[in-house]
Amino acid sequence: VLWKQYANLPHSQELPERKSDRKEANGRRSSPISSTTPPVTVDVEKRRKVLELEIEVMRQEGRKVPSVSTIKPDQWEHLLGLTSRNQRRHYYLYLWNIEMVRLGKQMKKERKQEEIAKRREELLKANAENDHIVYGLFHNTMFLRIYDSTMDHFHNNRLVQAIRYGINLVIDCSYDDYMNDKEMRNTAKQLMLCFALNRSHTEPFNIHHCNANFNKTTMKQLEKHLVQLHQPEFPFNVTERSYTDLFPKERLVYLTPHCKNDLTEFNPDDVYIIGAMVDKSSQEPVSLGKAKKQGLRMARLPLDSYFQFKSGKSLTLDQMVAIMLELKTSNDFGKAFQHVPRRKVTTLDEAAEREQEMRQAAKFKLDFKRTGDKRNSKKPPR
């Protein structure tokens, strides 16, 4: 009965546990000993057992729900924050899909291991009576195998060299309060792409992730995917300090699309700042206001000189890092803007051709209208 009372609760109402706890808290506040008693906390374990019972009942009804043992602590935290049964149903289906994908990958891996073992046995039987040296898979070879860990060490060594001798680039991670949960998760994915893109470049940047808040979703997701983030030997600079504490103000240049100053050339002595913000829901000039408040120089990429945008001019973080890497290498905006997605823009030549076609169509329409008016005027009245 308790799980039905919890599950059918609408958005606008409080949970039964919270409502009773709030009443008790109000009663204790009015009592004379309220200052000595600790505040009442929500019984999370009780609510979790209710949700476990709800999952079991839904499984018996034949619904697609995950196993309780596979639900992780952060997923439990998200589940406990959902207030309606419909929201939890959608999240249960999402977790069930993840569990099915994981089980499918595990079964595929086991089948592959069985096939490899079977093939190895067949090769051993076929070559058992052969006295000559056999070359090939599972046998002798003249090539050394390069493991993924070896390539990781190679790329990380590039980042270590960039930390010592490379050009600095700042990613400002202070915009969590301006994004919803989905946008913060998207920001974390883009930061991962920036790290991979910068690491694979021949001359990477020394990227500083400043103003990081490890209590927000962005950094939590980043810690989840980069488990070695806080290890001292891992070449990833992340700090809660501001970039104004790390570099002198006169060297800082904030890249924001809302200012009027175009970036004419890449200056290796300047430290460019990119705002880590996915602003799909709002296009407010937050970075412009922040740069003005801190008294920093501002610049924008001269995109209007090369393209005409079909939609917004916003670029993802990995696209910005790719553009800055190319500018650092060649200082050629034409090459750097090859990383701008073509689905968003039309070139100036294409825009001129389209404008010419529109003019010809308008002229033909006007001539046709005039011809029709002349014919109508020549017709005798009935």
Terminal CA-CA length for the chain: 85
Which residues does 174 contact at the CB level (< 8 Å), separation at least 6?
210, 211, 213, 290
Q: What 8-state DSSP symbol labels residue 310? A: S
Q: What CATH architecture is 148-346?
A: 3-Layer(aba) Sandwich (3.40)
Residue 102 three-state SS:
helix
Q: Residue written as tokens 């103000």?
A: 249
From residue 274, how far is each of 61, 113, 203, 316, 320 by CA, in Å?
50, 45, 19, 10, 8
Rounded CA gap, 120 and 100, in Å?
A: 30
Q: What angle do CA 211, 212, 216 make, to 5 degrees?
A: 130
Query: Each residue's pLDDT tens digit in the chain (382 positions)?
Result: 333 333 333 333 444 444 444 444 455 444 444 444 434 345 888 888 999 999 999 999 899 999 999 998 888 888 888 888 899 999 999 999 999 999 999 999 999 999 989 988 887 787 777 777 777 766 777 777 788 889 989 999 999 999 999 999 999 999 998 888 888 999 999 999 999 999 999 999 999 999 999 999 899 999 988 888 888 889 999 999 999 999 999 999 999 988 888 899 999 999 999 999 887 766 778 888 999 999 999 999 988 887 777 666 778 899 999 999 999 999 888 888 888 887 776 666 666 676 777 777 776 666 656 666 655 565 555 5
Position 309, amino acid: F
The tokens 């060490």 sit on which residue? 153
* Bridge partner list, 271: 252
Is 159 in contact with 199 (CB distance < 8 Å)? yes
Measured distance CA(47)–CA(122) in Å, rounded: 56
The CA distance from 55 to 67, in Å, is: 8
Taking the CA atoms of 113, 119, 123 and 128 in sequence, report the sign of the dihedral they define: positive
Distances 45 to 19, 25, 50, 158 between C-alpha atoms, Å: 16, 19, 9, 47
What are the extents of the domains in the chain? 43-140, 148-346
